[in-house]
């Protein structure tokens, strides 16, 4: 596997030099400073690629080309924005970037309620607390019809959370949920998120799924021509937020997406942590079923509560058997080598990581500190080395 490292560009407090010391081979990045839906220029892409090459890395994955909400709604200026997206995709592919990760989550991207939740070892982790989220949705945002969407039990827990909030903690919770997290494409105020939610209020799961499939029918041929592959990222979390549809959450969703446009360029980002937060998702089984379409992997883990809450866990200690998942990916790599597939190695990155040691006192992008990811990468590297050795030993004996 290609050990990669997410880098948010020249302003990232965790530098390319840090990634080099972590032992990464590849960089996962994008033109994060250009997020308004306009096409990225080949010159800007070439400049970013040269920066990465000069530091001794390959640009393994573009994550992500920003996607204007009109594309997901297929209203307003969607034609203009999808054409701009296709231009960026073509330019990234022709620059030699082999994979483009993207998502189709409406309004809010990956979502948490606490960016500094204490762990049992003294570090800090990202957490999504269902009662806190419902407290914001029902009692702070006061979204129309929100109270009817939740059970009496979770509403009672949310009311207790809300009653304990002061102005500062309310503002912090709101910033965490709607003000944008690293790699997200939208940042909102309370007024603007109400307006955006209203735009999506009449769109169903079937509508959004249909819009995604129409999007793929347009962009997959561009990816094929440019020599790159698309890898859709699962919803994070993989269940409805603010009453919005989510259509990249289950194996059935993935079958619909992959089957709609049957091309190797229409692929999947296997985000272990995102998929793991649904109790009915068996991630190693998903990895095996969709192995030939997995072009990128986010390797992180979560612990989950019965009410839907979850927390980022140690990479090897969570709901999903990470060793079994990596074994499925290594088996697919072996198959690709035998068949001559151009992507014989699957790019992976240690996704997120706890705030540890002196990183706790530094300003870093939430989830993307240096030490926590370095620890995760080292653990994952050990799993890969052990599995590779075991497979080689068995093959030699045979």
Provide the annotated active-site residues: 233, 271, 298, 351-352, 368
CA distances (Å), 157 to each of 129, 165, 187, in order?
11, 13, 27
The radius of gyration of the chain from alpha carbons, rounded to an integer in Å, stands at 20
- How would you class 276 by CB atoms within 10 Å of its CB: exposed for 0-12, middle for 13-18, buried for 19 or more? buried
Q: Which 8-state DSSP code applies to residue 243? A: T
- How would you class 317 by CB atoms within 10 Å of its CB: exposed for 0-12, middle for 13-18, buried for 19 or more? exposed
User: Mapping DSSP to helix (H, G, I), strand (E, B) and coil, where does residue 10 land?
Assistant: coil
User: Mapping DSSP to helix (H, G, I), strand (E, B) and coil, where does residue 61 land?
Assistant: strand
Q: Which of 370, 345, 299 is nearest to 20 (CA)?
A: 370
For residues 370 and 125, what is the distance between their CA atoms, to the nearest angstrom? 13
Q: Which of 135, 94, 92 is nearest to 113 (CA)?
A: 135
């Amino acid at each position: 596997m290609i050990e990669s490292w997410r880098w948010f560009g020249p302003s990232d407090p965790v530098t390319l030099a840090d990634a080099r010391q972590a032992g990464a081979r590849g960089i996962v990045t994008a033109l994060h400073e250009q997020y308004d839906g306009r096409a990225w220029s080949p010159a800007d892409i070439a400049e970013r690629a040269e920066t990465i090459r000069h530091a001794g890395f390959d640009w393994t994955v573009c994550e992500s080309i920003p996607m204007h909400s009109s594309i997901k709604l297929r209203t307003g200026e969607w034609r203009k924005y999808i054409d701009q997206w296709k231009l960026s995709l073509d330019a990234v592919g022709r620059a030699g970037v082999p994979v483009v990760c993207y998502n189709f989550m409406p309004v809010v991207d990956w979502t948490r309620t606490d960016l500094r939740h204490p762990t049992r070892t003294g570090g800090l982790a990202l957490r999504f607390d269902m009662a806190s989220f419902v407290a914001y949705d029902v009692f702070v945002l006061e979204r129309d019809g929100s109270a009817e969407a939740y059970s009496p039990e979770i509403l009672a827990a949310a009311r207790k959370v809300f009653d304990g909030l002061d102005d500062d903690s309310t503002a912090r919770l709101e910033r965490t949920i709607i003000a944008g997290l690293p790699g997200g494409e939208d940042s909102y105020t309370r007024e603007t998120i109400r307006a955006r939610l209203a735009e999506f209020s009449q769109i169903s799961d079937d509508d959004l799924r249909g819009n995604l499939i129409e999007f793929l029918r347009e962009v997959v041929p561009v990816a094929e021509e440019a020599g790159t592959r698309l890898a859709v990222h699962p919803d994070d979390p993989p269940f409805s937020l603010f009453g919005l549809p989510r259509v990249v959450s289950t194996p059935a969703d993935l079958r619909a997406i992959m089957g709609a446009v049957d091309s190797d360029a229409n692929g999947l980002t296997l985000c272990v942590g995102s998929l793991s937060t649904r109790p009915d998702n068996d991630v190693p089984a998903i990895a095996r079923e969709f192995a030939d379409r997995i072009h990128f992997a986010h390797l992180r883990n979560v612990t989950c509560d019965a009410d839907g809450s979850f927390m980022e866990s140690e990479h090897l200690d969570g709901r999903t058997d990470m060793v079994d998942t990596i074994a499925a990916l290594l088996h697919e790599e072996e198959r690709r080598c035998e068949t001559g597939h151009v992507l014989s190695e699957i790019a992976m990155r240690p996704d997120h990581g706890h705030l540890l040691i002196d990183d706790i006192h530094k300003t870093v992008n939430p989830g993307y500190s240096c030490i926590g990811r370095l620890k995760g990468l080292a653990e994952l590297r050990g799993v890969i080395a052990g599995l590779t050795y075991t497979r080689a030993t068995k093959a030699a004996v045979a």
